[in-house]
Chain A
């Protein structure tokens, strides 16, 4: 049981480049989330999904896109990378949204945009 896995662990992008951050969970969780973590700012929710085929915006969705074609996978796409997107990105999953259930986090992807 690997839990939540993320790839890559590190990435450097040039301004204007695009990339996809991969996230996979093997716990059969319906709910999945993408957060970004900036120093001293805690976690900000980018997008979330309540099941395959259903996604919704979080607090800071601009500049990102997501898709959820399967229960297991929830990739995050950056189309035109900007320096403001330099951050650590965490994917998480839970049995249900908020409420009683804990979220399980992946190890993170550290992204630098130059």
Chain B
């Protein structure tokens, strides 16, 4: 079975500063990895996903994530955040090439400070 740990429940960061949201996963098989974003009072939407190939994945709104197999991590980064990035971010994992469900982390709330 897979599991995912988001190391920070909340991350405050000043506007225009860089940010990193941390995600570690556990799995005995190869995995696909996802980051979803939830804006206030909305459902989740896909930010980016890693399926295979390049370990650096670029997503919407200037976000990117790097898959690190040796450290079992999939951290999300943005070089300069905007007030509109205020949201909750969820890391998720699922087993590769299987009909298996996605396991979501507990989420990291990103607070942008003016």
Chain A interfacial positions (CB closer than 8 Å to B): 4, 40-43, 45, 48, 58, 90, 92, 96-100, 102-108
Contact = CB atoms under 8 A, between A and B. Distances in A.
B107 A42 contact: yes
Given A42-B107, A43-B90, A98 B45 contact: no
B95 A98 contact: yes
Nearest to A105: B43
Interface of B is mostly: loop
B82 interface: no
A43 B88 CA distance: 12
Given A90-B44, A98-B101, A98-B102, A40 B9 contact: yes
Interface of B: 9, 32, 34, 41-46, 49, 51, 90, 94-102, 104-107
Nearest to B107: A42
B75 to A, nearest CB: 17
B64 to A, nearest CB: 17
B98 A107 contact: no
Nearest to B4: A42
A107 B42 CA distance: 5
A92 B95 CA distance: 19
B44 A99 contact: no
The 10 A-B pairs at the shortest CB distance, nearest first, are namely A105-B43, A98-B94, A42-B106, A102-B46, A43-B104, A98-B100, A105-B44, A42-B104, A97-B99, A107-B43
